[in-house]
Amino acid sequence: MPAGPYSEDMLWAANKDDFTLRPMEDVLLVFHKMSGDTHILNFLSAAVIHVLSQEAETFASAESKILAHVDLTPEDCPPGLIKKTILELDDVGLVGPQAMLL
């Protein structure tokens, strides 16, 4: 479920206990236990899950770690795409503001 209004300094996190991960070739299959939905993540959204499940991050702090995880640089990534991806994952309940996950 989307977090609703958010701020740039909001911390985002993913709780790996909430889902089951299965890599399949170039994509990551994520079964969300609570909703019963299965999500297909590409390398970027998979990296978001990986990074945010390690530690809660803001949009800005997450970006550098995510890009490092996929061996890309900020120049490779269109502006706002990582933030958009985090919000997409928030929409389907895979990530959320840290307070909501506690």
Partner 1 sequence: MKNNKKTDAFLEKRRQLLKLGAAGLPMVLTLRASASEAVISQLRCLITVPSNLKILVDDTGAAWVGDGSISEEGGGGYDLDDIASFKADADYTFPEGSAPSEYRPEACEIDDCEDGDGSGDILLSHLTDEQGNYSLTENLTDYIAGGGGDDHCHSLPDHDHGGGKKGKGKGKGGHGHGDDHGHGQGDCGYALYVYDNSVITPGNYVDESGNWTISGDDGLFLALSLAYAEEYGPGGSWPGVSCIVSILNYVG
What b/e string do you get for 49-84 counting C-beta neighbours within 10 Å, with b at 16 or more?
bbbbbeebbebeebbebbbebeeeeeeebeeeebbe
- How far is the C-alpha of 77 from the C-alpha of 72, rounded, in Å? 8
Closest residue by Cα to residue 95 from 59, 67, 70, 42: 59
Give the nearest distance from C-beta 98 to partner 1 in angstroms: 20
Would you say 37 or 99 has its CB closer to partner 1?
Answer: 37
Residues numbered 31-90 forming contacts with partner 1, rule: CB under 8 A: 35-48, 50, 69-72, 76-81, 84-85, 88-89
One-letter identity of residue 95:
V
> How many residues form the binding site for partner 1 (CB under 8 A)?
33
Closer Cβ to partner 1, 7 or 73, answer by number:
73
Contact flag: residue 3 with partner 1 (CB under 8 A): no
Residues of the shown chain interacting with partner 1 in the complex, contacts defined by CB under 8 A: 23, 28, 35-48, 50, 69-72, 76-81, 84-85, 88-89, 92, 94
